[in-house]
Structures are given as structure tokens and as C-alpha cells.
Amino acid sequence: MKYGIAIFPSKKLQDKVNSLRKRYDPRYALIPPHITLKTPFEIDDSKITDLINQIKTVAEESEPIQIRVDKVSSFNPVNNVVYLKIEPKDQLTALHERLGTCDIEDTEEYSFVPHITIGQELSDEEHNDVLGSLKMQDFNHEELVDRFQLLYELDNGVWTVYETFHLGKKN
């Protein structure tokens, strides 16, 4: 089965992002707004219990993270994904790297940039328009992230949460 690991931010931030994703993200209906910690990977069902135990240890040995929404940015020219940049990059990258020590097949094509996708699969013209107009908006926001989720993908592309992990707590 295909799994992924992600942070769902607060309802407030998700609602704000969804008001934009509705227009700019064709994958809007498949998963709520999130910060990807591990891109989708395949794992055999027989190995999932071991993996969950490894992830529990990573979560327990990490601390909650005060995240800041920074500015709107884009992965162009790699791809036309418009996103909210999430700080502090160092703490989120450290968590991402600790998760990388678990028995998860490495499927990551790009270096890790903590972000919440706002728009994707945009034409070059749409991309430039969206990026230009969003760069002028104020997205200033802070919140404490104290948990993340392990999800699996259904045949229709929708993601279901399987397990919640708490940062800095016994799971």
C-alpha cells in the first residue's frame, strides 16, 4: 500500500489555504491542506507495525514546532507549484531527516522544502498570474505543531489517516 506522512495545520490555516486551493489546485478534493514530511512510499502491510514503532520513537524524541507561515513562493521552473513557505526550515528538516532513518524507501526526487501547496498543474500563464497576485497578500501566521499523521492512499487518490503521532510525547 502507498503511505505518506504529513502535518495538518490548524483549521484556521487550512480554511485560508483551501479558499485558494479551490481555484488553483486540481488535487483539492484528495487531501486537506498539509505539510508533507515524507512523500508517498510503498510499504508491505507486513512491515507497517515495525515502521509505526520506528516513527513513534522519532516523534517522541522530537519536540513540538512553532511554525511560521512565511511568503508565497513557487517551484518554477522545476514545476508550476505555488506554495506557502513554512519556517523554521531547520527544525522541520531535522524532523524530515529523522523520519528518513526509518525503514522507508527513499522516493524523494527533490530536496526538502517545508511548504503547503496552494496551486499545482498550472499553465505557465496561470502560474505567473497566481504567483503575482498572491505575493501581494499577507499570509502572516504562527502556530504550534504538536502532531503529524501517517496516511494511506485509496484507489480513488483520496488519503485516509491511519495513525496520529505526537511530538515530544510518549505515543
- Torsion angles phi and psi, residue 72, rounded to 5: -80, 135
Nearer to its own copies, 125 or 155 (CB): 155
Q: Which of residues 18-57 bind its own copies (CB under 8 A)?
A: 18-19, 22, 29, 32
Does the annotation count 34 as an active-site position?
yes
144 interacts with its own copies by CB under 8 A: no
- 3-class DSSP state of 52: helix
Report strand pairing: 159-166 vs 35-42. unpaired
**CA–CA dist 27, 120 (Å, integer):** 8
Tell me the closest approach of the beta carbon of residue 30 to its own copies, in angstroms: 8
The single-letter code of the amino acid at 126 is: E
Q: Which is nearer to its own copies, 132 or 157 (CB)?
A: 157
Return the axis-axis angle of helices 48-60 and 89-99, rounded to nearest 10°.
150
Q: Which of 27, 135, 158, 168 binds its own copies (CB under 8 A)?
A: 158
The residue type of 71 is K
- Closest contact distance (angstroms) between CB of 166 and its own copies is 9
CA 91, CA 89: separation in Å to the nearest integer?
6
- Please answer whether residues 134 and 118 qualify as being in contact, where contact means their C-beta atoms are separated by less than 8 angstroms: yes
Residue from 8, 24, 139, 148 binding its own copies (CB under 8 A):
8
By CB under 8 A, which span of 6-14, 79-87, 97-105, 112-120 interacts with its own copies?
Answer: 6-14
15 Cα distance to chain centroid? 15
What is the pattern of x (binds its own copies, CB under 8 A) and - over residues 89-128? ----------------------------------------
The owner of cell 522541520 is 92
Helix residue ranges, H only, 35-74? 48-60
Active site residue 127: no
Q: How far is the CB of 68 from its own copies (least distance, A)?
A: 21
Binding site for its own copies (CB under 8 A): 1, 8, 11, 14-15, 18-19, 22, 29, 32, 147, 149, 152, 154-156, 158, 160-164
The residues assigned a catalytic role are 34, 115
